Amino acid sequence: MTDTRIPGKTYYEIGQRPQEITLKVDGAKPLHRHRLPFTRRHLLKWRSRLNPKTLRQERMLADKKPLWWTLALGLLLVSAPFLSNSALTVAAVFCMFSAINVLWTLIIGTAGIFSLATLAVVGVGAYASAALNVYLGLPWPLMFVAGGVAGLVMGALLALPSTRLDGLYYALLTMGVAEICRVFVQQLKPLTPMNGSINNVQGFIPADWALQRPGLLLGFAGAFVLLLLALLTFRIVNSERLGMLLQTAREEEAYAEAIGIDYRRARMQVFLISSAGLGVTGAFYAQYFGSISPQVFSLDQLMVLFAMIVIGGLGRAEGAVIGTALVVLIDKGLLDLGPLRILLVAAIMLAVTLTTNNGLTGIREQFRGFRRRRQSEARARRTEKGGEVMPEEAIDINDKQAIYYRRFDKRLRDRLKALVTPDVIEEHRQKPLGQHSDALSRLLNYFRRGEVADKYAIIRQAGNFHSYKIVAFSGVRGAPPRLVDDRIYTDINEAYHAVFLLRVNDLMES
């Protein structure tokens, strides 16, 4: 297709997304899309569409998030070997907390269960696996299994009352569970001799590598893999069958139940899966630090984690990761600042929650909503003024003829308005029918051409000669005309003139 643009003339891009990434479609080649092995999923969400402006077929990337994920995680992985030892620890802690938060997001966002026992489950997994390792000599690969099983059992215990209690009451109950775990662990003297903590846990990091460079690198690598696994779990649970069922249930519970979705069961399943994942994370936690202390059950730690996911945006994996990155970077990365960094975290929490509706990842949507509102306001203002179609509105109207007609009509009305003078009105008053001046005939011609909805009619009152009333058509078939006012005209010419005045009035107001 040749370019029809006139050289030298300035063209403006219109529409909301002129810079969208698109691929040209080669009609000669068959469409080939790679699938992930053993699944029916594609790596990227390419969508074919007809571009309504260029009238060409194109392929558009409908979901660019995988690209951003790859970029961010790839950058983290590539930059890890160049980080200092302390930064490497911060990165590993970030990965671990992100994994916890992603799984927690699954519970709060996908399952819609407001549980605050996340760290309790992590702690139980950690304690169970650490105790098995230290006292029974369980090898470290099996610790993950032990942690997962412990998490699952804990999750099952916690899941029982969740169907009965709602919202806040359940949150409190889970908070109480964390406190019970803390006290219980501290009192379990034979298992936890050191003031409630278990030390010297053997993990995937060899003992002689501990706190050395290779050990730290290995620790980071492990935490990174853990984060990837958590994200994979999130993807599989949230965007596949279970997540779809629960999304329906979130919007309308009664409806979901009516079409046969057992959303309670689905919620339980998500809760159990995430709890098992959290247990595995706990086992990793114990291995990474080589010890586990009751600090993991503390309310402060839990609230900081909750602040992370709220800052990032509740219910989204990227929100959990971004929020964690921000808070961990300040809390653990800027240790030089001392107590000031807690104030900084508090200030960020304040600023983010006060300005955004759903955390940092919700900003985009919030901005779009704001822009859409502004646009429709402006559109309403313009429509009031002239009725001409503006470029932004034009892309929403499929019938392009309508756009040109409205533009023509607007200009015509502008010209006709200039023709309305006292002389013309006086001329019509004296002689409503018959030959008229040029200006008056143009006006009357325009009025006659109008749509029925804009028109008026004269009704002769039954039983009376020379008694007329004016009605306005509804423009809707079956809906009767409405009386304009009660005034009775005794002269037909007077009535003609009254209709003319009404139409002139409408014209001047449009």
Partner 1 sequence: MDMSTLLIYGLSLAAIYGLMAIGISLLWSSIGMINMAHGASFAVAGYAAFSVAELAKPLILATLGKSFAGTVAMAGLCLSAGALTGAMMGALIYLLAFLPIHDKPNFAVRSLIVTLAINLATVQLLLWFFGPKQRNLPKIFGLGKVEFLGLSARYDQIGTILGTAVILGLLLFWLKVSRKGLEIRAMMQNPEGAVLSGISVRWTALPVTMLTGALAGLAAVLLSQSIFVSPTSGAMPLIKGLTISLLGGLGSVPGAVFGAVIIGFLEAVIGAVPWLGQRYVLFGTFLFIIAVLVIRPRGIGGLLDKARK
Judged by the rule CB under 8 A, the positions of this chain that interact with partner 1 are 161, 164-169, 172-173, 176-177, 179-180, 183-184, 186-187, 299, 303, 306-307, 310-311, 314, 339, 342-343, 345-347, 349-350, 353-354, 357-358
| Shortest Å, Cβ 299 to partner 1 | 7
Of 277 and 362, which CB lies nearer to partner 1 in the complex structure?
A: 362
**What is the C-alpha separation between 313 and 315, in angstroms, rounded?**
6
| Residue 403 CB, nearest approach to partner 1 (Å) | 36
Min CB(179)–partner 1 separation in Å: 5
User: Among 282, 304, 278, which residue's Cα sits nearest to residue 293?
Assistant: 282
**Cβ-based nearer residue to partner 1, 181 or 507:** 181
Question: Based on CB atoms, which residue is closest to partner 1, 177 or 201?
Answer: 177
127 vs 306, beta carbon nearer partner 1 = 306
- DSSP-assigned states of every residue in 232-278: HHHHHHHHSHHHHHHHHHHH-HHHHHHTT--HHHHHHHHHHHHHHHH
Contacts of 115 (CB under 8 A, 6+ apart): 104, 107, 108, 158, 162, 170, 171, 174, 271
Closer by beta carbon to partner 1, 328 or else 499: 328
Distance of closest approach, residue 380 Cβ to partner 1, in angstroms: 23
CB-wise, 131 or 307, nearer to partner 1?
A: 307
Q: How far is the CB of 309 from partner 1 (least distance, A)?
A: 10
Residues in contact with 319: Cβ distance below 8 Å, sequence separation at least 6, in sequence order: 105, 309, 312, 313, 358, 359, 360, 361, 362
- Closest distance to partner 1 from the beta carbon of 149 (Å): 23
Residue keyed to tokens 């169907």: 163
The minimum distance between CB 441 and partner 1, in angstroms, equals 57
Whether residue 407 contacts residue 386, with contact meaning beta carbons closer than 8 Å, is answered with no
Give the nearest distance from C-beta 160 to partner 1 in angstroms. Answer: 9
Q: Which is nearer to partner 1, 121 or 470 (CB)?
A: 121
**Which phi and psi (to 5°) does residue 390 adopt?**
-95, 160
From edge to edge, which strands make up the β-sheet containing 45-50? Answer: 22-24, 57-63, 45-50
CB of 155 to partner 1, least distance (A): 16
Tell me the two tokens of residue 199. 């030390």
If the CB atoms of residues 187 and 441 are measured against partner 1, the closer one turns out to be 187
Q: Which is nearer to partner 1, 112 or 277 (CB)?
A: 112
H helices of 137-240, in order, are 140-162, 167-187, 213-239
Give CA–CA dist 36/186, Å, rounded.
Answer: 48
Q: Which two tokens stand for residue 165?
A: 């209690």
Tokens at residue 184, please?
Answer: 């219980």
Tokens of residue 382, six digits: 């313009």
Beta strands across the sheet bearing 482-483: 456-460, 468-472, 482-483
